[in-house]
Amino acid sequence: MKAQILATTAAAALLGGCVTINTEEGDPLAELKEAQAYNPDIPAGTGYFAERSDLPLYAPDFTKISEDDYLPAYEQAMMIHKAEIEAIKNNPAAPNFENTIVAIEKAGSMLGRINTVFFALTGSNTTDRLDEINTEISPKLTEHYDSITLDPALFARVKAVYDNRAAMTMTVEDAKLLETTYDTMVHAGALLSDAEREQVKAINSQLSTLTTEFSQAARAAMSDQPVIFDTREELAGLSDNDIKSAADLATEKGFDGKYAIALQNTTQQPLLPSMENRAAREKLFMASYHRADGTTDVDTRMLIAKIAKLRADKAALFGEADWASYAMWDRMAEKPKTALDFMEQMVPALAATQRREAALLTAAIAADGGDYEVKPWDWYRYANRIKAEQFDLDEDAVMEYFVLDKVLEDGVFYMAEKLYGLTFQKRTDLPVYHPDVTTYTVFDRDGRELGIFYFDPFQRPSKRGGAWMSNFVEQSHLYGTKPVIYNVLNIPKAPAGEVQLVSFDWVNTTFHEFGHALHGFFADQRYESLSGTATARDFVEYPSQVHEMWATWPSVLSNYAKHYETGETIPDEMIEKIEAAAKFNQGYDFGEVVEAALLDMKWSALSPAEAAAIDTPEKVDAFERRSLEELGLEIDLVPPRYRSTYFSHIFSSPAGYSAGYYSYLWTEMLDRDSRKWFIENGGLTRENGDHYRATVLSRGGTMDYFQMFQNFAGRAPDVTPMLEARGLVAGDEAADSEVSDGKLPGSAVN
């Protein structure tokens, strides 16, 4: 996702419409003459990134970009951006909204064009050279942006406009941009002393270097260190295609005649359930679990310790107790305690579920002739077996109904047409950064071009793990730009000539990521920095999650879920089994996410002294262990979705999802409550889609998030539908649940 820091909500008085407070103002004619007289000399850029692309909607032309372009372009773009900022500071006219706030918004356009392409490629199709450039340029970019956000003279102009806001006539979005600009600079350190600002700059530079190093190390530990098996027998249970892929990867890595399995992003590995050899299962799992912890030549533990210490030190400079308190300034939840209370209230029911499910799995092992208790590497093998028996669900048989092209075009696109009136046209004229990428023009409900969509579905060593959405071009009425958006997934690619089938999990992910894309396509903002998905970290996942509901909506499902050989539509009974089985195994599925979110908060809650005491790799391990044990969950049976050593969400960028991984749970609460609203109001209809678009998807980061949800649903959010969906509380038990009263900490609409 794009990482933009947004401020807290605008004043409640500004949320309802334009601000029309008219007080004494200066002479407009005199101000216009003064502005016209000021014509600063801004250097012109050269090279590809100096101007907008000449492709449709300014999409990037990858045929005209080489790796050697980036460093010179970056140096030039930072120089131009700095000159633009100097021009704002030196403007002899009194600071006003246009010559200061909008001017800051406009500055740095060349730099923005480089960033959107460069960081798209380092995430999805990197090379050794791009990694080298990233290592070199990241601290320079941090220093550059710090020099702007921490510039006292620039802040003085921003503050002058901000302090005069009551006497100004602004739209709601103007008011939000002003508040965002001011609050972002304050959060960066504009109100600190000169010495403190210098300390912040030094910390930011170090964090940029360390988090880039962490990101590259974590990716190397995943993509460059596959697990090697000597014999085919060790891989018994895997499909012929999986075994062939393992043999091919081993050859590619220099292990001819052996078999290699590449690690996936999370602690659990997708091939484990199919593997019959328990020792082989344990080997694969332990390689994943011990990734980047010094078991091999990759060790991120001291990077983690240094990052945690620097974050705690930075928070202290702002008078905050810990990094979480500092980082959550613009979140929907606002305070660490709100997020912690939200998660911790789930722990008792979740712990009981883990113990109950573990006992079921150990019993299944005994029934299978095994004389051992379930371990993490056994869990999904026997959980899937119980699913198959209890729900008569065969995961491999389910996959046969999900052909990737149909999932996208006849499923996701079909949903978008029925709900929002969108249509799509595949195109072959746009250059792409990898042959696996396909592109589509997206047309709006009135037939006009809405944007361009890039789809990059397959796993490859040059791509980091996970799935995400971002923009090559942001929507902005100020610039007259429409969104150019990409989705990136990590689906294992079928061998050449084979039909590309996908698991139901990847079906859900495809709908999820396109939910992010819709959030971007429906952006209707004047300013890029408030546009589309430029929302709080604990809100941005909500619109994407709610779109997962349409993956199994009957009319959508019947349009895309066709057997790859017979063309038969997936039987209703199979879907009923999928949905019934979804509530089983929540001890693991939900538990590993809750543990990761709570582990993130533990790292983010360290004081400077506590962080300083974690000064060896062994102490990093001990802190992680102690933190997980304090949760009261069965952590040896259900390890967190990510251990600290490869938790890229929270350690691979200066901020990222740190003190924010809880967002996936928080937004699931909003998602499940929204699904309830859709169902109660008729489901997949244009009326419902237009309402959701108007109240949520088109609003960007322009208003209070609780107010936004209330505008959509007509009420505050309720956590109960999420717990029911997870099988942690039954519908008829909701009235007795501690968390079923519809009240959420901080949910009052002001």
Polymer length of the chain: 750
**Which residues touch 71 (CB under 8 Å, ≥6 apart)?**
133, 136, 137
Q: CB burial class (10 A; 0-12, 13-18, 19+) of residue 417?
A: middle
Of residues 465, 442, 584, the one with CA closest to residue 521: 442
3-state helix, strand, coil in the chain (%, to 5): 55, 5, 35
Question: Structure tokens of 386?
Answer: 């119980």
Q: In the Cβ-directed half-sphere of 250, how many Cα atoms lie within 13 Å? A: 19
Q: Which runs of E-coded beta strand occur in 350-464? A: 423-427, 438-443, 449-458
Outline where 462-585 has alpha helix (H): 504-521, 537-546, 554-560, 572-581
Nearest to residue 268, comparing CAs of 588, 2, 490?
A: 588
What span, in angstroms and rounded, lies between the C-alpha atoms of 269 and 639?
Answer: 12
Residue 458's SS3 state is strand
Q: Is 717 exposed, middle or buried (0-12, 13-18, 19+ CB in 10 A)?
A: buried
| Residue 266: other Cβ atoms inside 10 A | 18
- Distance, in Å, from the CA atom of 228 to the CA atom of 235, rounded to the nearest integer, reads 11
- Residue 156 bridge partners (DSSP): none
Q: Which residues contact 573 (CB under 8 A, 6 or more apart)?
A: none
Query: Is 513 labeled as catalytic in the residue annotation?
Result: yes
Bridge partners, residue 488, by sequence: 456, 468
Catalytic residue among 179, 234, 513, 592: 513
- By three-state DSSP, how is residue 32 classified? helix
Quick one: which of 475, 466, 489, 471 has its CA closest to 412? 489
Alpha-carbon dihedral of residues 302, 305, 310, 313, nearest 10 degrees?
Answer: -150
Q: How far apart are CA 356 and CA 363, in angstroms?
A: 11
How far is it, in rounded angstroms, from Cα 257 to Cα 294?
28
Task: List the structure tokens of 316.
Answer: 């202290």
Beta-strand pair 484-491/449-458: parallel
The residue to which tokens 């880039």 are assigned:
212
| C-alpha to C-alpha distance for 107 and 104, rounded to whole angstroms | 5
Name 588's Cβ contacts closer than 8 Å, sequence gap at least 6: 268, 354, 357, 379, 380, 383, 638
Which two tokens mark 561? 């879920």
Concatenating the DSSP letter of every residue in 411-430 gives: IIHHHHHHHH--EEEEES-S
Cα gap 690→124, rounded to integer Å: 33
Helices of type H across 22-108: 28-37, 70-89, 103-106
- Cα separation, 17 vs 21, whole angstroms: 12
Is residue 110 within 8 Å of residue 81, measured between CB atoms? yes
> Which residues are part of the catalytic machinery?
513
